[in-house]
Structure 1
């Protein structure tokens, strides 16, 4: 039997994760501690080094394109729409859903972040209850306190959204496409990385997050693979202005400095390709860059231009 002692926070995340995976029909088999897999898992949840720690870090096995071709429907093309806060991702994905009616659009799970207590039975939720269960609001109110909690919640909710089965209508389509509003990869290589470099999470929390991400990608990576990425690109100043216009309550204190840091992380990952990516298929993934500094919502000419670029991009995947 495992005892968590001083690692209650990690154990809690572990319990939530196991519950989520089993509810999705993924079998979790707990083996004796002497097995290799459990030694690694034990190291992750206990914080104690196991005999495979050195081996695990030295090999750094990456998921390859061939890995992604296995154990997933080869017909459905999976594409994520990436970009800064308030760049226009929701507006853009709604446009794609309206234009390509047989495609399936998976929105970012913001509503789950705004009411996390509706899905938990934890008794000690004083801070969350006081804020109406709005973890997103807590993040902006006290980033240092809530950044790690938010990033682990964000990662889990994105995985759950990605693992939702495709609709029967889409699967029957001639050329089925599934569009995700952001992905588990931007969660790590943009947002979690940004709060780490801005010192909103400490080195221990960053190490735990990366360990979880690596483990989940190793176990579920073939089901979370993408065929392409659409990067909506706009300046931090434009994004800030759009944020003010949409007037989302949690973003009242959003700063241009934070948006500039997120912009830098997006550019390093998708434009300059200088980010240290641990998954080969993401390192070499096709990227469509769309300049959305100009307004496009309800402007027919701009919408048509963007839609045509996406249509041609999807054909190449």
Structure 2
């Protein structure tokens, strides 16, 4: 056995051991999330000469590039956040999205209402309000589909800001239809099983829910003023029930799991004042811990 062959074997063994050591250390650092890219690079540079040769350093430099590209980062770098704004009908969700839509690194995803208004020319949202017993399952099945599409949509920017979520669709609106007797038990069971399957296979994670908390009386007045065709027949009792379901879910957290932390904002005020509230809470809303 030649000396060169033995040297190559020893070099490869040393390389493998060093790569394994490097990988374990990198994994621990990543899991703790207590080191920046610059600090990580400095740490490797300071210690690598004690354990590996120049040839292995070159290999590790290539490996490092791949590892760093996969590192989760905070505050607008590699790590991405999904933030959802929730609230009753006319609680100010659209105004919230409008306020933040031009923020750097934020992409806004509106509730897909226009899809519900035009399914091959049919407005199933309007039909549901007109005859909920007949159309509630049809609408809510499509709502679950379109909300899932919003959740899994490719995220181009670090922060995805969504209007409502698949969770509120189920925990507030579907529950309300079932509790009021407008969705039969069998249809509710089918929709619930479909919802559970979605969460098992797609997860739909959220990092923050911003809950725009309003009174039913305030949102009822806003609905009358904005005069959306489908909403004109909504009674205040319906808004009260939705309010109670939102409160049970996000404030009291009694019945349904909350997928992330919740930031509650009093949204009973006029738009100018709400802009001040949004700005005062910007860092919290943008998941900026710094």
- Please give the TM-score of this superposition, normalised by the length of structure 2: 0.70
How far, CA to CA, are the matches of 1:302 and 1:146 in structure 2? 35
2:131 is aligned with 1:142: yes
Task: Quote the residue 2:280 is aligned against.
Answer: 308
Q: Residues 49-69 of structure 1, C-alpha deviation per residue, up to 9 Å, x if partnerless? A: xxxxxxxxxxxxxxxxxxxx9
2:79 is aligned with 1:75: yes
Does the residue aligned with 2:264 lie in a helix, a strand or coil?
strand
How far, CA to CA, are the matches of 2:174 and 2:282 in structure 1? 28
Which residue of 167, 176, 200 maps to 1:185? 167
2:206 is aligned with 1:226: yes
Q: Residues 112-148 of structure 1, C-alpha deviation per residue, up to 9 Å, x if partnerless? A: 000011xxxxxxxxxxxxxx40011101110111111
Which residue of 94, 107, 111 maps to 2:110? 107
Gaps of 5+ in 1: 1-68, 118-131, 171-175
Structure number with the higher helix fraction is 2
Does the residue aligned with 1:166 lie in a helix, a strand or coil?
coil
How far, CA to CA, are the matches of 1:260 and 1:212 in structure 2? 27
Does the residue aligned with 2:209 lie in a helix, a strand or coil?
strand
Which residue of 237, 256, 270 maps to 2:236? 256
How far, CA to CA, are the matches of 2:269 and 2:91 in structure 1? 11
Q: Is the 8 A contact 1:235 1:263 kept in 2?
A: yes
2:241 is aligned with 1:237: no
Alignment of 1:1-317 (within 5 A): 75-98=79-102, 100-117=103-120, 132-167=121-156, 170=157, 176-221=158-203, 224-277=204-257, 282=259, 285-296=260-271, 299=272, 301-313=273-285, 314-316=287-289
- Please give the TM-score of this superposition, normalised by the length of structure 1: 0.65
Q: Residues 247-283 of structure 1, C-alpha deviation per residue, up to 9 Å, x if partnerless? A: 1011110110000000000000000110233xxx61x
| Cα shift at 1:212 | 0.2
Q: Residues 204-245 of structure 1, C-alpha deviation per residue, up to 9 Å, x if partnerless? A: 011101100001111111xx1001100001001111111111
Does the residue aligned with 1:116 lie in a helix, a strand or coil?
coil
Change (3 A) 1:187 1:96: same
How far, CA to CA, are the matches of 2:274 and 2:114 in structure 1? 29
| Cα shift at 1:315 | 1.8
Q: Is the 8 A contact 2:267 2:274 kept in 1?
A: no
The structure with more radius of gyration: 2
| Cα shift at 1:74 | 6.9
Q: Is the 8 A contact 1:96 1:307 kept in 2?
A: no
| Cα shift at 1:177 | 1.1
